[in-house]
Structure 1
Amino acid sequence: MVPILLLLLSPALAWIPVEDWESGNVTASVGDAGQCLCHVYLPETSFPADRVQHMQQVSKDLILEVEIQMNKMTSYEGMLEVYLKDLLDLTVRVAMLESSPDNYIKLDFELLRIELREFEALVSQLKGSLNSSSPLFDSLYTEIRNMTLIVNQLETYDKSNLEVIRIEFAKLQKKLEECQKEQEIIKPDIGNCNHTGILSISKPTVVQLNAHLAASYQYGGWGKDSKPVRGYESMYFYGAYSSANVYDFYLYTNYEKLILRSAFKQHDIPNGWVGTGNNYIVHGNTIYYQKNSPFSMSKLNLTSSRYDYRVIPAASEKFSYSYSASQNMDFSADENGLWVLYASEGNKGKIVVAKIDEKSFGVEEEWNTGAFKQLAGNAFMACGVMYATRSVDLNTEEIYYAFDTKTNQEKHLSISFPKFQEKYTNLHYNPTDQKLYMYNSGYYVSYSVRFNKQ
């Protein structure tokens, strides 16, 4: 029988010096089954524990570095998607300039040039961070350079109209001066309802086209939180679509971010909670809007993303404002709290004012008014008074009716104010700045409200 030699090895065996094998540290014996066993006795100082510990630390550092680089790649991928989307928007704007350069002023070209330089710097930074020479980056560079050349070329066409541009700037400066004087006259007294009602409405401030840069997005709304939570006092919201539906909302940290179309959060309305109509507002960090099925008032908490709804049995789907279909429930907020306006068959199609209890999300009290909803362009609440509007002509709107929930008295008024476009789908009052916010044919428009304090 040939004996089998078994070596009982440990991971540290490779570190044993040759001289230790020859100095009696290795002994042999015969086992119970007749096999030959080889015993190796390792000296305590032969195992390099400090080396192993160092290797373990190096391994951990390498794993951490790999994770950091992977996170960077994920971040860069998201950044690249944003850059590509914004670059596409720029491409559309350059195409518009190219199709009609005479309609644009020097400032338009300079703004485009600045944005292009920013894009070039961002792409350079991204390329350097990734240490990449990908064809994707090369194509981005090429497109940015081409767009810059087009802008420069278009600007030369525009120089022939410098005199026209100077005249337009003079007109603009005059309008700004008039607006500044008007703002000095209308000084808001936030939170004070010690007055007899609205005295006048300022001229409109047309901010810009909506964040989608789509004039076809005729249905929507924008504005500020009427009861902001701490830290969100400057937040703005926006939502719009090409039909009278509610699919998503965008939130912006402040006015500057709204202008730059840089939302910090987007809420996509899930199936089962899709809304209709466009008279929604943000109040107490919660969006209130009209739900499709069942027909009800609905709310979305912007922090928890939690949805809830309440059916109002008396509310009818048959009566909407004159400018848009499906505007059956109109949410409003003022110095006295949260309201919802709707028409009922019991009130023969006239507007009903309902006070909402924010905690229970139910109706506290109701008032029947004398304003037919289908004749009104829109309505809003201010200091417990409902004001209804209607069209005077293509360029003029007026507040023609008021109902005071404190006294149950109604008034017929004629407070006219200009419109930017004929039709609008959202008009609401905000007590934090005493302004009206209007979504007017795809544009953000606002007005200052002046109250009669005599």
Structure 2
Amino acid sequence: MTLSVIVQLCALLTISQQAASLPGCVCDLTSSEQPFPHDKLSSVEDSANKCSSSITQQKSVELDSLLLGLQHRLPQLEADMSVLEREDDGELYGAVSLQVIENELVEILQLMNKLNSTTLAHSRLTSDTAQQVQDLKDEMQQLEVYDSMQVVKNQQANHRLKRDLDQCRNGHHPTTQPTQPASGNCPHGHFLNVTGPGVYTAGEYPGSYKYGSWGRDPKPEAGKENWYWLVMLTSSNVYSNYVRRYSSLSSLIIGVSVPGNVQIHSSNPTTNTIQGPSAVLYGEALYYCCYYRDAVCRFNLTTKSVTSVQLPKGTRFNSKGNFCHLDECYPYTDLDLATDESGVWVIYTTSQNFGNLVVSRVEEGETPTINQTWHTSLYKQAATNTFMACGVLYATRYVSKDVEEIFYSFDTSTGVERFDIGIQIQKMSGNMYSLNYSPTDQMLHAYTESHMVSYKVVFG
């Protein structure tokens, strides 16, 4: 019995060895399609990225800024010509007025030269980009031959349908509006939106000074209604000892400071010089955070004298109460100065209010005083900037490198707070280090990473 089993096992083993030694089944697959050119696709993607990076929003706004400067400058020249016609006696007055007009023409010529060079550069860029786009289109059409299942064509059709559907849905509301108009009793109406930017310029010192502030004097002296001012933190990105003046918007854009610097002190920094990027000009006086003090300084540009007002005990200063977002805090933004239709304000934090925003009204005078104070429930480090408009405090927060959002308001006349404003600002760079409202022309002036940017406030 055992012997027969062994014989059967031996026979099975022999058969299995013979079967294993048989050759395997091999199939030859011949495709009628050409191999997909992955290298060509990568080349097209690289070309498309380079093409996209060459066209930026900054380039278009730069041209708009130059045109806006020219638009403001020509009426001023016309007004000066009228003065010459009225005053010309062939001698003294005519010579003085002619000198003024000559200076005006020099600045206009500089503005025109910059405008022409910018336009020429943009024209070349447009021509080059158009050719690149056509080349990319031709290459993509060649690559579509490999899309035998027409996936790309179906995706394009779906994209067109989705775009048409979105336009149909949003046709009557192309711009996102806040849920309700922002509060406040304002002569211009309710704060509805922010448009722009209208001005975007690096001024005289492109990329040199990261932090600063700029704008217009809401209460200018006669003859200085069109002047602009600029404060740049020139020492360690923290301190400054002068304010720079410009006779017009075009002068600011092309970087010609005719009045020049008005110096607070020859040393920088020292007692009563500027600390931090927030400053405002009101009534020919500069208001700012005093060097290494929890106080607001007032520098009279005419008499060159400095006075100050002490803020309440417990006020955070010297970069201990800054504006912040998730990625970073803005150094030395403890005190935020602001102007609106009623005057000068200071926004800050105190230990008594647990780091929430405090708003105080700064009264005019050779020695400024604090008139009235309001306490809010907004934690300062949840915001990136504040400004005042018509007695209402507004706060912004960082959404992305392209978008800042006005999300909060506090009405000083009623004490009503809102956290649902929802007005977006299109940024030109990642961070806005100062933001101030100008009641003269209802503009927001922002200083953002060495550039000056302005936006139009829409009331209604």
Q: What's the TM-score bracket when you normalise by the shorter of the two chains?
A: 0.5 to 0.7
Is residue 422 from structure 1 mapped to residue 430 from structure 2 by the alignment?
yes
Match of 2:261 in 1: 266
Aligned amino acid, residue 389 of structure 2: A
Match of 1:287 in 2: 286
* Equivalent in 171, 194, 203 of residue 201 of structure 1: 194
Superposition deviation, residue 407 in structure 1 = 0.4
Q: How many Å separate the matches in 2 of 1:255 and 1:216?
A: 20
Shift in CA distance, 165/232, structure 1 to aligned 2, threshold 3 Å: farther
Map residues 108-187 of structure 1 onto 2, 5 A cutoff: 163-164=127-128
Match of 1:276 in 2: 275
- Which secondary structure state, in structure 2, belongs to the residue aligned with residue 202 of structure 1? strand
Superposition deviation, residue 279 in structure 1 = 1.0
Confirm or deny: 8 A CA contact 1:380 1:427 kept in the other structure. yes
Match of 2:344 in 1: 338
- Which secondary structure state, in structure 1, belongs to the residue aligned with residue 358 of structure 2? strand
Shift in CA distance, 162/253, structure 1 to aligned 2, threshold 3 Å: closer
Normalized against structure 2, the TM-score is what?
0.57
- Which secondary structure state, in structure 2, belongs to the residue aligned with residue 364 of structure 1? strand
- Higher alpha-carbon Rg: 1
Identity %: 30
Superposition deviation, residue 210 in structure 1 = 3.2
Aligned amino acid, residue 164 of structure 1: D
Superposition deviation, residue 194 in structure 1 = 4.1
Q: Which has the higher contact order (CA 8 A, sep 6+)?
A: 2
Confirm or deny: 8 A CA contact 2:202 2:253 kept in the other structure. no
Q: How many Å separate the matches in 2 of 1:356 and 1:161?
A: 50
Is residue 256 from structure 1 mapped to residue 250 from structure 2 by the alignment?
yes
- Which secondary structure state, in structure 1, belongs to the residue aligned with residue 419 of structure 2? strand
Q: How many Å separate the matches in 2 of 1:157 and 1:369?
A: 50
Superposition deviation, residue 162 in structure 1 = 7.0
Normalized against structure 1, the TM-score is what?
0.57
Q: How many Å separate the matches in 1 of 2:260 and 2:127?
A: 44
Match of 1:316 in 2: 316
Confirm or deny: 8 A CA contact 1:206 1:420 kept in the other structure. no
Match of 1:219 in 2: 211
Shift in CA distance, 401/362, structure 1 to aligned 2, threshold 3 Å: same
User: Runs ≥4 in structure 1, deviation > 6 angstroms?
Assistant: 102-105, 156-162, 165-168
Question: Per-residue displacement from partner, 1:306-349 (whole Å, max 9, x unpaired)?
Answer: 11112113321221112411111111111122111111111110
Match of 1:361 in 2: 368
Shift in CA distance, 158/394, structure 1 to aligned 2, threshold 3 Å: closer
Q: How many Å separate the matches in 1 of 2:123 and 2:393?
A: 52
Confirm or deny: 8 A CA contact 1:351 1:372 kept in the other structure. yes
Match of 1:390 in 2: 397
- Which secondary structure state, in structure 1, belongs to the residue aligned with residue 127 of structure 2? helix
Q: How many Å separate the matches in 1 of 2:406 and 2:188?
A: 17
- Which secondary structure state, in structure 1, belongs to the residue aligned with residue 456 of structure 2? strand
Is residue 350 from structure 1 mapped to residue 345 from structure 2 by the alignment?
no
Report which stretch shifted further, 323-332 or 240-249. Answer: 240-249
Confirm or deny: 8 A CA contact 1:202 1:449 kept in the other structure. yes
Q: How many Å separate the matches in 2 of 1:367 and 1:445?
A: 30
Aligned amino acid, residue 294 of structure 1: R
Q: How many Å separate the matches in 1 of 2:130 and 2:418?
A: 47
Q: How many Å separate the matches in 2 of 1:431 and 1:372?
A: 27
Q: How many Å separate the matches in 1 of 2:220 and 2:231?
A: 18
How much is the aligned-residue C-alpha RMSD, in angstroms?
A: 3.3
Equivalenced residues, count:
284
Confirm or deny: 8 A CA contact 1:244 1:324 kept in the other structure. no
Match of 2:220 in 1: 228
Q: How many Å separate the matches in 2 of 1:401 and 1:292?
A: 29
Confirm or deny: 8 A CA contact 2:309 2:370 kept in the other structure. no
Is residue 449 from structure 1 mapped to residue 457 from structure 2 by the alignment?
yes
Q: How many Å separate the matches in 2 of 1:157 and 1:274?
A: 41
- Which secondary structure state, in structure 2, belongs to the residue aligned with residue 331 of structure 1? strand
Shift in CA distance, 339/426, structure 1 to aligned 2, threshold 3 Å: same
